Amino acid sequence: MRMDGNTILITGGSSGIGRGLAEAFQKRGNKVIIGGRTEARLKEVAAANPGMEYLVVDCARKESIEAAAAEAERRWPGLNVVFNNAGVQKTFDFAGGAVDERALEEEIDTNVYGVVRVAAAFLPLLKRQREAWVVNTSSGLAFVPMAVFPVYCATKAFVHSFSMSLRVQLKETSVRVVELAPPYVATELDRDHKDRASAHQAMPLAEYVAAAMKELESGADEAAVGFAKMGRDAVMNDKVMGIFARLNG
């Protein structure tokens, strides 16, 4: 994708990978808007990065997404990149008894419905731009799941599949669809269940952001790094892509 001169919205932009990418893109000469549901955190990040703006949006709520899309069109009519990056990660033990319905719904609402609704809400604006991108954040766990996160992994597999289909549907428009597949990165995503003994295995955030920026700049449809690239390359082989091409030719 083009790496400068864009107007970019990054959901989940107040922390972790979202914030790292927001700051990296701003340094490359882009107008950056961070999105999230907690205004105080958004204000703090924007204040630390003069020129950065923010948009309050709860990606688990349809009405919030629709309102945010309308506000974005009014305030930033040249918006041409949307990073669909908001996400939550929960642990579930289906062998251990009752599942927390509230946590289950939050994870699916954010990671599945949120991704679809953000794409749908912002596409009318994006399609009016000469060049535009939707960048959906999946995970290395989209390709090879980790059983302690059964729902999270399934939601990210959904993001991968949705991105492939959306890319085909939009091929005759000005909008490119890119999938961003991170490995295990040192962020707050797993703060509620981090295994302290294995936390050192996480890729440092700055290292990941630098690698992700390079992948995005390369023009890859699937910008995968580290373990995520290993999983992607193992699963998305020539045979699979050949079948996909036949189904969608």
pLDDT at 116 over 50: yes
Specify if 172 maps to a domain: yes
Whether 1 maps to a domain, the answer reads no
152 is catalytic: yes
DSSP state of 110: I
Q: Comparing C-alpha atoms, which of 240, 140, 222, 213 is closest to residue 177?
A: 222
Task: Name the 3-class secondary structure at 101.
Answer: helix
Question: Would 75 be classed as within a structural domain?
Answer: yes
Mean pLDDT of 168-186: 97
User: Does 206 have pLDDT greater than 80?
Assistant: yes
Question: Which residue in 54, 152, 184, 208 is the catalytic one?
Answer: 152
| pLDDT level of residue 249 (50, 70, 90 thresholds) | confident
Range of the domain at 234: 7-247
CA dihedral 185, 191, 196, 198 (to 10 degrees): -30
Q: Are 221 and 241 in contact (CB under 8 A)?
A: no
**CATH number (domain holding residue 206):** 3.40.50.720
The DSSP symbol for 49 reads S
Q: Does the pLDDT at position 155 exceed 90?
A: yes
Mean pLDDT of 134-150: 97
Whether the predicted pLDDT of 195 surpasses 80: no
**Mean pLDDT, to the nearest integer, of 179-202?**
70
How many domains does the chain fold into? Answer: 1
**Does residue 178 fall inside a structural domain?**
yes
| pLDDT score recorded for residue 83 | 99
The two three-digit tokens of residue 128, written as one number: 């009016």
In a domain, residue 58? The reply is yes
pLDDT at 98: 86
Q: Kindly state the tokens that stand for 22.
A: 């927001």
SS (H, E, C) 54-76: EEECCCCCHHHHHHHHHHHHHHC
pLDDT at 189: 59
Predicted confidence band at 66 (pLDDT cuts at 50, 70, 90)? very high
pLDDT for residue 192 is more than 70: no
Inside any domain, residue 2: no
Confidence label for 242 from pLDDT (cuts 50, 70 and 90): very high
Whether 180 contacts 223, CB under 8 Å: yes
Tokens of 55: 């948009």
